């Protein structure tokens, strides 16, 4: 069996605490001979700025380009508020996404059975919830030019952002969505605004074409992005895979996040094209949440989003859905046993970050 190279970039704040818990699991899987991982750990974000004067070094980017998968903890914090725009810790994340060209951001929204009764949730809406949002991550209105604020003759200003999508960009994200749907419940919902946007018209057209030509057995529906937001709140279980552009995906995935109980529960994967060095897709795995400076260093962070990101890697980078399922089952069981970090304790007794990691490991064993 081959050994896979993982690059671990814990980053700042709770990033280092949750990465430690994930690493317990990669070490155990390797020791058991279930799958072999070789890990290398390096600095990113504020930690890298402090050591090297830049939030991500060329050496780290070079390592990322050779790795079978990259794992990020989280970056940022008040300590780096004044380092300037180019050196802000978040710039590291944008550079890694761009250099790996991870254009497909996958965000599952799963409501674990033990959290269905959480005070913030409506049980009938979220029981059994399992949605996957596939967001285009490297194009669209966040990236395209012109992007500017100009002063007009009368002294007032004009701000411009530009929404552009090409056939190729839509095709590749659509393929990812259809392929994932085939591994799930065989349904893709494509969200755009073809009623008011040219990019929405092309989006709908290309997604339809890709579906018809390559994935005729997958059910495809088109939904206007605003209606999609409403449906996510009203009746979320109607969705399986939602594919959408960068801007709508940003918003819709945050809406979906609220259906799961806590930010500390949500993993993500960002996938690109096949890496010629590894023969696998470029892949960056990270929790959806940030560095949580308010609880950093207190052993209070929930490591399940990070551990869930490892499960995604097992499934999407290493074709080990069997191990991913075991790990996800361990998370489900730990929650069912009543083990809770503070963010999901609903005011009840909570355990620390490391105890939560240990509990998942014990459950795996
Ligand atoms: P970013 O801009 O980096 O996304 P943010 O300000 O949006 O950061 P987070 O750092 O994600 O926010 O934190 C938002 C809130 O959620 C904070 O109160 C934080 O403590 C909490 N939080 C985030 N992640 C976790 C976690 N893994 N466990 C427990 N609480 C968390
Ligand atoms: Mg945030």
Q: Mind spelling out the 3-state secondary structure of the chain?
A: CCEEEEEEEEECCHHHHHHHHHHHHHHHHHHCCCCEEEEEECCCCHHHHHHHCCCCCHHHHHHHHHCCEEEEEECCCHHHCCCCCCCCCHHHHHHHHHHHCCCEEEEEEECCHHHCCCCCCCHHHHCCCEEEEEEECCCHHHCCCCCEEEECCCCCEEEECCCCCCHHHHHHHHHHHHHHHHCCCCEEEEEECCCCCHHHHHHHHHHHHHHHHHCCCCEEEEEEHHHHHHHHHHCHHHCCEEEECHHHHHHHHHHHHCCCCCHHHCEEEEEEEECCCCCCEEEEEEECCCCCCCCCCCCCCCCHHHHHHHHHHHHHCCCCHHHHHHHHHHHHHHHHCCCCCHHHCCCCCCCCHHHHHHHHHHHHC
Which residue would you say has higher pLDDT here, 129 or 120?
A: 129
**Residue 285 in this model has a pLDDT that exceeds 90:** yes
Helix (H, G, I), strand (E, B) or coil at 129: coil
**Residue 1 in this model has a pLDDT that exceeds 80:** no
In a 10 Å sphere around its CB, with 0-12 CB exposed, 13-18 middle and 19+ buried, how is residue 280 labelled? Answer: middle
Q: What is the pLDDT confidence band of residue 356, given thresholds at 50, 70 and 90? A: very high
Residues with CB in 5 Å of ion ligand 2: 290
Cα 106 to Cα 281: distance, rounded to the nearest angstrom: 14
**Per-residue pLDDT averaged across 192-200, rounded?**
98
Helices 321-336 & 304-316, crossing angle to 10 degrees? 160
CATH fold of 1-107+262-365: Isopropylmalate Dehydrogenase (3.40.718)
Domain ranges in the chain are 1-107+262-365, 130-258
Residues of each annotated binding site for substrate: 97, 107, 135, 226
**Per-residue pLDDT averaged across 48-68, rounded?**
98
First to last CA, the chain: 21
Q: What is the pLDDT confidence band of residue 247, given thresholds at 50, 70 and 90? A: very high
What does the pLDDT read at residue 122? Answer: 87
Alpha carbon 352 to its chain's center: 24
- CA 291, 293, 266, 326 dihedral sign is positive
Q: How far does the centroid of ligand 2 lie from the alpha carbon of residue 227, in Å?
A: 24
- Whether ligand 1 lies within 6 angstroms of the CB of 15 is answered as no
- Whether ligand 1 lies within 6 angstroms of the CB of 292 is answered as yes
Q: What pLDDT digit, counting tens, does each position of 64-116 carry?
A: 999 999 999 999 999 999 999 999 999 999 899 999 999 999 999 999 888 88
**Residue 32 in this model has a pLDDT that exceeds 80:** yes
Quick check: 67 and 6 in contact, CB under 8 A?
A: yes
Q: How far does the centroid of ligand 2 lie from the alpha carbon of residue 29, in Å?
A: 31
What does the pLDDT read at residue 264? Answer: 84
Same CATH topology for 1-107+262-365 and 130-258?
Answer: yes
CB atoms within 10 A of CB 117: 12
**Residue 117 in this model has a pLDDT that exceeds 90:** no
Q: How far does the centroid of ligand 2 lie from the alpha carbon of residue 193, in Å?
A: 25
What does the pLDDT read at residue 288? Answer: 92
Which residue would you say has higher pLDDT here, 5 or 85?
A: 5
**Superfamily name with CATH number, domain 130-258:** Isopropylmalate Dehydrogenase (3.40.718.10)
Q: What is the pLDDT confidence band of residue 149, given thresholds at 50, 70 and 90? A: very high
Among the listed residues 183, 190, 191, 188, the one whose alpha carbon sits nearest the alpha carbon of residue 241: 188
What does the pLDDT read at residue 112? Answer: 87
**Residue 347 in this model has a pLDDT that exceeds 90:** no
Ligand 1 atom nearest residue 302's Cα: 28
Quick check: 330 and 364 in contact, CB under 8 A?
A: yes
Quote the ipTM score.
0.94
**Residue 322 in this model has a pLDDT that exceeds 90:** yes
**Per-residue pLDDT averaged across 214-237, rounded?**
98
- What's the token pair of residue 359? 């509990």
What does the pLDDT read at residue 113? Answer: 87
Alpha carbon 325 to its chain's center: 18
Q: How far does the centroid of ligand 1 lie from the alpha carbon of residue 322, in Å?
A: 30
Q: Which ligand has an atom closest to residue 14 CA? A: 1
Ligand 1 atom nearest residue 303's Cα: 27
CA angle centred on 288, ends 286 and 292, rounded to 5°: 100
Q: Mean pLDDT score of the chain, rounded to an integer?
A: 96
Mutate to test the pocket of ligand 1, among 90, 115, 290, 360 (most ligand atoms within 8 A of CB): 290
- Whether ligand 1 lies within 6 angstroms of the CB of 89 is answered as no
What does the pLDDT read at residue 13? Answer: 98
Residues of each annotated binding site for Mg(2+): 226, 250, 254
Task: Point out the least confidently predicted range of 160-164, 327-331, 339-343, 344-348.
Answer: 344-348
Cα 232 to Cα 239: distance, rounded to the nearest angstrom: 8
């Amino acid at each position: 069996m081959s050994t896979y190279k993982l690059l671990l970039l814990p980053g700042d704040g709770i990033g280092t605490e949750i990465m430690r818990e994930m690493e317990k699991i990669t070490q155990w899987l390797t020791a058991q001979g279930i799958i072999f991982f070789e890990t290398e750990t390096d600095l990113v974000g504020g930690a890298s700025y402090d050591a090297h004067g830049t939030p991500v070094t060329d050496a780290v980017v070079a390592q990322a380009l050779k790795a079978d998968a990259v794992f990020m903890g989280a970056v940022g914090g008040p300590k780096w508020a004044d380092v300037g725009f180019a050196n802000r810790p978040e710039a590291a994340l944008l550079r890694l996404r761009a250099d790996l060209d991870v254009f497909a951001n996958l965000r599952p929204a799963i409501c674990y059975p033990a959290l269905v009764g959480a005070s913030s949730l409506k049980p009938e809406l979220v029981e059994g919830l399992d949605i996957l949002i596939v967001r285009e991550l490297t194009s669209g209105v966040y990236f395209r030019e012109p992007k500017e604020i100009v002063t007009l003759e009368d002294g007032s200003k004009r701000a411009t952002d530009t929404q552009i999508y090409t056939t190729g960009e839509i095709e590749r994200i659509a393929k990812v969505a259809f392929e994932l749907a085939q591994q799930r419940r065989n349904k893709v919902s494509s969200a755009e605004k073809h009623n008011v946007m040219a990019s929405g018209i092309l989006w709908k057209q290309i997604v339809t074409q890709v579906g018809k030509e390559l994935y005729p057995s997958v059910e495809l529906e088109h939904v206007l992005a605003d209606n999609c937001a409403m449906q996510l709140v009203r009746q979320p279980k109607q969705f399986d895979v939602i594919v959408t552009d960068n801007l709508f995906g940003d918003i819709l995935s945050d809406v979906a996040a609220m259906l799961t109980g806590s930010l500390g529960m949500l993993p993500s994967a960002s996938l690109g094209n096949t890496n010629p060095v590894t023969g696998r897709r470029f892949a960056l795995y990270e929790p959806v949440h940030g560095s949580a400076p308010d609880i950093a260093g207190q052993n209070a962070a929930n490591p399940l989003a990070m551990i869930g990101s490892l499960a995604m890697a097992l499934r999407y980078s290493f074709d080990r859905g069997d191990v991913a399922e075991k790990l996800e089952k361990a998370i489900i069981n730990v929650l069912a046993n009543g083990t809770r970090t503070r963010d999901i304790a609903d005011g009840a007794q909570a355990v620390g970050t490391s105890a939560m990691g240990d509990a998942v490991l014990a459950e795996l064993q």
